[in-house]
Structure 1
Amino acid sequence: MSLTPARRLALKQALSCALAVSAMGALPALAADAVLRVSAIPDEAPTELQRKFAPLGKYLEAQTGMKVVFTPVTDYAAVVESLATRKIDLAWLGGFTFVQAKIRTNGTAIPIVQRAEDAQFTSKFITANPQITGLADLKGKTFAFGAPSSTSGSLMPRFFLQQAGLNPDKDFKNVAFSGAHDATVAFVAAGRAEAGVLNASVWDKMVEEKKVDTSKVRVFATTPTYFDYNWTVRGDLDPALVKKLTDAFLALDPAKPEDKAILGLQRASKFVPTNAKNYVGIEDAAKSAGLLK
């Protein structure tokens, strides 16, 4: 059947409209592909994690050309599972959480950078009890760790306590888990625990910001150094994007005011490359503590 010129024009216009609608319908999918999904272990209050990440997120958007979405989670295990199930692309992990992520992802999770400070990380033992002056004084006392999966708030302090001849489960009157480093300080300050342990970076920040009364709560011991935090990507992320992210972190320059502000919020002098081998000691400590088989 032949078409009149008018019918032919109408059909052409209808086809153009259909193609336009189809293209518009495809836009959300394209946008979704251009989103970088980020999360972090909840070692501080969710509002604080959001505040710290906001400038870094904007920087990563500029460096990658992608929309960056930060999603806080309720516990450490949720970050590991989200990385393993491809719900997030990039995660801020502690050393032990990285080991758990490596195991959960069958070795595919890739640590790309760490702060320079994370190669020489420590935990601080704190108390408001004047009778506690050393680790030996913790026998028979109530004690607060951070989260069970926290490297600096639980695993490594427990490991070093064991090396000092103390078994928290047997030698302490009671063991509690506060859930986060700043919460541990609150536990000790309020007398809910006679002593506790948290990472040195959060302690220093709280002291600087006068969020802890050091005339009451004080440090009485510090752990030996160990490797800790890193930024990790899921193993099947586009290698070109992994390189962009790595280069972006490494390019942060403390000599530039904007970069210095970002680094300051991350409690970092700079970011340096890292790799899975740096966390073998953490894995060994976890096995020694009975937290990994």
Structure 2
Amino acid sequence: MKLLRKYLAPLLVVLAPAAMAETFTFTAIPDEDESQLRTRFEKVADYLETKLGVEVKYVPVKSYSAAVTAFRNNQVQLAWFGGLSGVQARRLVPGSEAIAQGFEDQFFKSYFIAHHSTGLERSENFPAIGGYTFTFGSKDSTSGRLMPQFFLERNLGKRPKDLFKRVGFSGDHSRTVSQVEAGVYQVGAVNYKVWDSMVEAGKVDTSKVKVIWESPVYPDYQWTVRGDLNKRFGDGFKARVTQALLEMKDPDLLASFPRQSFVPADNEDFQPVEDVAKAIGLID
């Protein structure tokens, strides 16, 4: 037996990387509290594992840029990106594809929110918010930075640094809400889905912070896969992943995003995001 183990040991070492390659990994941009993300995406991992017949692992990351880096470095093969982070990732990984998006992501929007001390009220016209303190979400967020900055520049004619007393980046949407509610910043931009979910859950004191403007719609979140998926996991694997996402019907899983369903997507759907990112100088 010892002799057998002696000759098998080198073989097991050689086989170990191949066994590891059978684990399908994915990540997601950290747009909310980390503990909530872990809970919801570990459930998604269990669902995908059942559907795909391979081990599936959710890999948490600390920032939007870390999600893009993990995808670029092949640490993950699938990612739940925002519009901008998806564009960034696909530019870095030739052959990668957007394969599905939430039904709502076809017409996403941002809210501008304000602390009650400003006296600002909700309006259909873009608010005169120059001179206040302002916070975006993550620097790479579509709904918390890219599109809000575009709407600011288009409507008020100045860069954020020239518009506000102080400009911040909270890091995620839930922190944006908390900081504006607390008066750390007077005005901020937030993902409408996160705001609506927090209000519904009773996590926002609407006597202290309110929505003052709702943006026009734009494409946002999507699932993106690396182009070498079939080569690594076998012919037809990308199609199976896509089908599994489109067939996600469990109300609890969908509510954790929150989305009513997932629909097909492709790279061209997010050309408007790339165009805006180029227009305001976030990408070349």
- Residue type of the partner of 1:282? V
Q: 2:139 and 2:5 mapped to 1: Cα distance?
A: 57
Change (3 A) 1:170 1:17: closer
Q: Give 4+ residue runs of structure 1 displaced > 4 Å after superposition.
A: 13-27
CA distance in 2 between counterparts of 1:24 and 1:86 reads: 24
1:162 Cα deviation (Å)?
Answer: 1.7
User: Match of 1:47?
Assistant: 35
Given the alignment of the two structures, is residue 194 of structure 1 paired with residue 186 of structure 2, yes or no?
Answer: yes
Larger radius of gyration: 1
**SS of equivalent to 1:261:** helix
1:217 and 2:177 equivalent?
A: no
Amino acid at match of 1:215: S
The alpha carbon displacement at 1:67 in A equals 1.6
Match of 1:94 in 2: 82
1:162 aligns with 2:149: no
The alignment's C-alpha RMSD in Å is 1.8
Structure-2 residue corresponding to 1:4? none
- 1:184 to 2:176 alignment: yes
Give the % identical residues: 38
User: Could you say which residue in structure 2 is the equivalent of 1:109?
Assistant: 96
Amino acid at match of 2:237: L
Match of 2:55 among 46, 62, 67: 67
Cα contact 2:127–2:212 (8 A) shared by 1 = no
Query: Scaled by the length of structure 2, what TM-score is found?
Result: 0.91
Aligned to 1:120: 107
User: 8 Å contact 2:140–2:146 — kept in the other structure?
Assistant: yes
Deviation digits for residues 43-75 of structure 1 (CA, Å, limit 9, x no counterpart) = 112211111112111000111122221121122
Match of residue 271, structure 1, among 252, 259, 262: 262
Q: Secondary structure at the match of 2:105?
A: helix
Work out whether residues 127 and 218 of structure 1, in 8 Å CA contact, stay in contact via their aligned partners in 2.
Answer: yes
Contact 2:114/2:187 (CA < 8 Å) preserved in 1? Answer: yes
Letter in 2 for 1:196: G
**Alignment partner of 1:57: what SS?**
helix
CA distance in 2, matches of 1:14, 1:41: 48
Question: Greater shift after overlay, 276-285 or 168-177?
Answer: 168-177
The one-letter code matched in structure 2 to 1:223 is S
> Which amino acid in structure 2 is aligned with residue 136 of structure 1?
P
**Unaligned regions of 5+ residues in structure 1, if any?**
1-12, 254-258
Q: Report the secondary structure of 2:127's partner residue.
A: helix
**Partners in 2 of 1:165 and 1:159 — Cα distance?**
10
